[in-house]
Each structure stands twice: as structure tokens, then as C-alpha cells.
Amino acid sequence: MSDRNPEEKFVTINGVNLRYVDWGSDGKTAMICLHGHTSQSGIFREFAETMSDYYHVYTFDQRGHGGSEWARDGYDRERFVEDLGEIINELGLEKVILVGHSMGGWNSVLYTPKNQEVVEKIILVDIGMEPSEQSILMRGKRPPTPTEFSSFDEAYNWARQNNQWASDDRLRQDLGERLAEGKDGIWKWKADPLLYSTPLRDMEDPESVKRLWDSFRSITCPILEVRGTESITLSDEVIDKMIQANSNFVSVDVHGAAHTVSVDKPEDFITVTKSFLGLNP
């Protein structure tokens, strides 16, 4: 385990001030970690600390999330992909490993086809190129996410109802990085409220789904999928289609984890990714 002290930094990308954590290891291959929708970069904390022994790790709060600025030009998928390209250019990175949870995985898949010489490997975390049948059936059935909480404990109790797999400490840590307490004692999400009220088109719009599949098929570097067995996001059927679509693709399941695998089972997530990357156990 690394004993480095990660450094919080900011960079303006496409007119948006983005927060990121630089885990060090200058001179080593870069690894960029991208969180999912309405999440934040801290979901990769244990993973980034371990991987900083082998790579120069950067964990980003994407536009409108965490400590990054809310975006005036919106949150279309293309804006996130453009941000990723500019991040890589701004940091002067020649080779990168992309680690993308959920929408961060989509951003990685869409960036890579035109930048095959830059992307060395991709790790996707619980995301496919199309929705599972179960996730389609659940659309509109989940209650809306509360916009605020009267206390942190209220927020924790709400989160625990939706996540039975993360440890108490890890769930509290994740929430503490996603929420901020106002002067009135009310806790609100750091992410732009627009992100909560606007549905993700990627899994509903046929053209968006086709673009994801086309991009995925064209990728030439190794791709690992890490799926949580308790998640409904990615079905066996979609995994099989991805295996057929790209011979460089492999998939592994983490038992007892749901959608945010790196939070629910951080040590297991590290173990399976180290194996894919060819690192010592």
C-alpha cells in the first residue's frame, strides 16, 4: 500500500473548473479514474492508493460533480468526452489507462476510438453498452432521490436503504464526499441538481446506444468489465454480446457488490483489477 499523500488540484477544462486528486508517481504510466453519474472521485480512494505504487493516478470529479464547477454548457455525453480529451492534453499524457465507473465507462469507451494510440487499457465498472431488461423494467419505479436532508444521519439512513453491501465506514465516507452542509444545517448534494432531474439518454436513445456499441467494437486495447453481482445494471445477455463484439474484452464478477463496486467491496475490486493489469497479488 502506498504511503504517498494525494494532492488536491484544479484545472480549467472547456471553461469548467475541475477538481482532481493527483496520487503521484511521476514518470509512470498515467491512470485516469472517472466516477459515475452524480457520484464523485472518492469512490476510487482505496484503488487509487494501491495503484499509485504502479501508475501515476488521477481521480477526477467530472463536470458538475463533487468539488468541480457546475457547467453552464450542460451535461450532454459529448461534453464529458471532450473534457476527457482536454484533460489528457492539458496534463501532457502520452499513454493512459482509463478506469470508468458507470457513465465514466461510457466516457472512456467514446473517447478511445479516435485515440487508440493513447489508451493502453480500459477498466469498465458495472456498465454495458445497452441496458439490461431488468433495469428497463425499473425505469420510473424508483422513488426520486431526495434533494436535501435535515441531518447527515438522515442521509445515511436513506443511503443504507439503497445499499446493503458497503461497510458503515465506507458508506459514510462516500456520503461525506457527495454532500455538503449549509449554514442552515441542511445537507444537500454537491452535484448540480440538474444531474438528478435530467434522465440519462444513453440507455434510452437508440442512436446513443448504437454509438456506444460502434465505439466499443472498434477499440483495440484490452478491456476489463468488473460487475457487481447484486447490481441490475449489466445482464449476462449484455455481457455475452460484449464478448462477441470485441475479442479484447473480458469480464469478472465481484460477489456481494452492487453498482459501485469500488465502494461496496474495495479490496475485491483491487484484487481483480490487479490481475487484469498483470500486477503482483
Q: Could you read off the pLDDT of 166-199 as tens digits, one per residue?
A: 999 999 999 999 999 999 999 999 999 999 988 8
Cell of 229: 453481482
Average pLDDT of span 103-132 = 98
Q: Place 130 in a pLDDT band, splitting at 50, 70 and 90.
A: very high
Grid cell 444537500 — which residue? 188
Does 140 have pLDDT greater than 80? Answer: no
Give the pLDDT confidence score for residue 36 in this predicted structure: 98
Does 78 have pLDDT greater than 80? Answer: yes
Distance, in Å, from the CA atom of 19 to the CA atom of 22, rounded to the nearest integer, reads 10
Q: Flag the least confident range among 24-33, 130-139, 156-165, 187-196.
A: 130-139
Give the pLDDT confidence score for residue 163 in this predicted structure: 95
Give the pLDDT confidence score for residue 162 in this predicted structure: 92
Return the percentage of the chain with pLDDT > 90, whole number.
90
Q: Could you read off the pLDDT of 250-262 as tens digits, one per residue?
A: 999 999 999 999 9
Distance, in Å, from the CA atom of 272 to the CA atom of 127, rounded to the nearest integer, reads 16
Average pLDDT of span 80-101 = 98
Average model confidence (pLDDT) across the chain: 95
Does 3 have pLDDT greater than 80? Answer: no
**Buried b vs exposed e over 17-38: b needs ≥16 C-beta within 10 Å?**
ebbbbbbbbeeebbbbbbbbbb
Q: Running DSSP on this structure, what letter comes out for residue 107? A: H
Higher pLDDT, 59 or 281: 59
Q: What is the pTM of this model?
A: 0.96
Average pLDDT of span 36-42 = 98
Largest CA distance in the chain: 54
Domains and CATH numbers, the chain: 7-139+191-277 (3.40.50.1820)
